[in-house]
C-alpha cells in the first residue's frame, strides 16, 4: 500500500522544535463501511459516519465535542489561575449542516452556562475562550 501523505509530526524538523505540541490520532478501517477505529495515545474509540452505520459517536459530533470540551477545560484552568470562583459549567454546541452539503457546517452555535460567578465574570471568561 502506497502512502504519499505526510502528517504534521513527520514534517521536517517538527520533532526538533520544543515549543510545538503535536497531537496524533490514527484512524483505521474496520471492515464496516462508514465506521473507523481511532487511537489517540492509549485511548481507542469508534467513530461512525452520519450516513451510516450511525450507531457510535459521529465524526461531526466528535469534532464539536473537541470544541466544547476546549471551552470547559480552558475556562476552568484560567478561572483557577485567576481565582475566579467557577463552581461548574456547561458548554453546549450545535453544528448546523444542510442536506445539500452535509460535509460542511453551515453554522456553529456555542452557548456557555457558568455557575458560581456573576454575569460580568461569565462574559469575561467566555471572551478569554474566544480570544484563544
Phi and psi angles of residue 41, each rounded to the nearest 5 degrees, phi first? 55, -120
DSSP labels for 20-70? ------EEEE-SSTTEEEEEETTEEEEEEBTTBB--S-BHHHHHHHHHHHH
Per-residue pLDDT of the chain (132 residues; tens, 9 = 90+): 444 455 544 544 555 678 999 999 999 999 999 999 999 999 999 999 988 898 999 999 999 999 999 999 999 999 999 999 999 999 999 999 998 988 899 999 999 999 999 999 999 999 999 999
Chain centroid to Cα 29, Å, comes to 21
- Phi/psi-derived region of residue 75, left when phi > 0, alpha when psi is between -120 and 50, beta in every other case: alpha
Domain 58-132 class? alpha beta
Instruction: Note if the pTM is more than 0.75.
Output: yes
Domain boundaries, the chain: 24-57, 58-132
Amino acid at each position: 500500500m502506497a502512502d504519499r501523505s505526510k502528517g504534521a509530526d513527520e514534517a521536517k524538523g517538527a520533532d526538533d522544535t520544543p515549543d510545538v505540541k503535536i497531537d496524533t490520532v490514527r484512524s483505521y478501517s474496520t471492515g464496516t463501511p462508514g465506521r473507523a477505529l481511532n487511537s489517540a495515545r492509549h485511548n481507542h474509540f469508534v467513530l461512525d459516519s452520519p450516513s451510516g452505520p450511525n450507531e457510535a459517536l459521529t465524526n461531526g459530533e466528535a469534532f464539536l465535542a473537541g470544541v466544547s470540551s476546549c471551552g470547559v477545560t480552558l475556562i476552568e484552568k484560567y478561572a483557577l489561575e485567576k481565582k475566579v470562583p467557577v463552581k461548574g459549567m456547561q458548554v453546549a454546541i450545535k453544528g448546523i449542516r444542510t442536506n445539500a452539503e452535509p460535509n460542511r457546517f453551515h453554522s456553529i452555535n456555542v452557548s456557555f452556562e457558568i455557575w458560581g460567578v456573576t454575569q460580568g465574570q461569565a462574559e469575561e471568561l467566555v471572551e478569554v475562550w474566544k480570544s484563544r
